């Protein structure tokens, strides 16, 4: 998505050679119109997949998942919860996930009642790096006995390998922008 690449160049900040900060439109402040456009792009890319439900991870995936769901005729959005809450259902699917940005490992949980074996699930997230979050969500879809339609991410950092692993597994993966490298503060797209 050309407009996204331009936005990353204009507003994104490269932190070292590994991390991109896009706080101004995706991760801290939300550019609603731009989010809507990206949601519509995901709807176009996965139009043929018969998606019934979107799965994402709290918290940074929720906004883009909502935008995609709205563009796909208001599909339900389920987000895996990483924080411990007293109100969480006890009947859950769970998968451990190592956080790229925090360096911690947590357990992502989804209440069983929110994904059924009849579902065709599209996983949506903001970033794809080493693929930990995607693997945890894929595991949850598998545990539910549902069908995985594919994975859509706003930004793939291709050099971190998570995306290529998923492609090798035959997963339908779509990234709206794909970064080849980050060097001296400069972001280069694939
Ligand atoms: P992975 O699990 O694929 O290694 O990392 C993906 C998750 O880590 C995403 O859900 C995202 O929240 C976070 N993440 C990975 N790389 C970046 C990055 O460069 N910038 C930001 N803001 N988040 C990232």
- For 107-149, write each residue's pLDDT tens digit: 999 999 999 999 999 999 999 999 999 999 999 999 999 999 9
**Cis-peptide into 59, omega within 30 deg:** yes
Distance CA 122, CA 177 (A): 18
Within 100-187, residue ranges assigned H as helices are 132-144, 162-168
Count other C-beta atoms under 10 Å from residue 159's C-beta.
17
The whole-number pLDDT of residue 125 equals 98
C-alpha 129 – ligand 1 centre gap (Å): 6
Q: 125 CB under 6 A from ligand 1?
A: yes
Task: Give the pairing of strands 120-128 and 77-80.
Answer: unpaired
CB 162 within 8 A of CB 128: yes
pLDDT digit string, tens, across residues 151-176: 999 999 999 999 999 999 999 999 99
Q: 12 CB under 6 A from ligand 1?
A: no
Distance CA 169, CA 183 (A): 29
Which tokens in the block code for residue 17?
Answer: 């050679």
Question: Is 0.95 surpassed by the pTM of this model?
Answer: yes
Burial of 15 (0-12, 13-18, 19+ CB in 10 A): exposed
Q: 63 CB under 6 A from ligand 1?
A: no
Q: 156 CB under 6 A from ligand 1?
A: no
The closest-lying atom of ligand 1 relative to the alpha carbon of residue 57 is 10
CB 123 within 8 A of CB 150: yes
Find, among 109, 71, 73, the residue nearest to 91 by Cα: 109
C-alpha 28 – ligand 1 centre gap (Å): 14
Handedness of CA 162, 20, 65, 77 (dihedral sign): positive
Q: 20 CB under 6 A from ligand 1?
A: yes
Residue 103 has pLDDT above 90, yes or no: no
Q: 127 CB under 6 A from ligand 1?
A: yes
């Amino acid at each position: 998505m050309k407009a996204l690449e331009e936005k990353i160049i204009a507003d994104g900040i490269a932190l070292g050679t590994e991390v991109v900060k896009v706080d101004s439109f995706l991760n801290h402040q939300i550019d609603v119109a731009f989010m809507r456009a990206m949601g519509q792009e995901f709807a176009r890319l996965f139009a043929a997949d018969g998606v019934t439900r979107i799965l994402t991870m709290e918290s940074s995936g929720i906004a883009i998942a909502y935008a995609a769901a709205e563009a796909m005729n208001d599909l339900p959005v389920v987000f895996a919860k990483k924080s411990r809450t007293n109100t969480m259902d006890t009947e859950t699917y769970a998968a451990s996930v190592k956080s790229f940005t925090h360096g911690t490992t947590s357990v992502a949980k989804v209440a069983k009642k929110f994904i059924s074996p009849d579902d065709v699930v599209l996983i949506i997230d903001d970033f794809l790096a080493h693929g930990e979050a995607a693997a945890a969500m894929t595991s949850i879809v598998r545990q539910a006995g549902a069908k995985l339609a594919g994975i859509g991410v706003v930004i793939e950092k291709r050099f971190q390998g998570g995306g290529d692993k998923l492609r090798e597994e035959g997963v339908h993966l779509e990234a709206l922008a794909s970064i080849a490298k980050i060097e001296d503060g400069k972001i280069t797209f694939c």
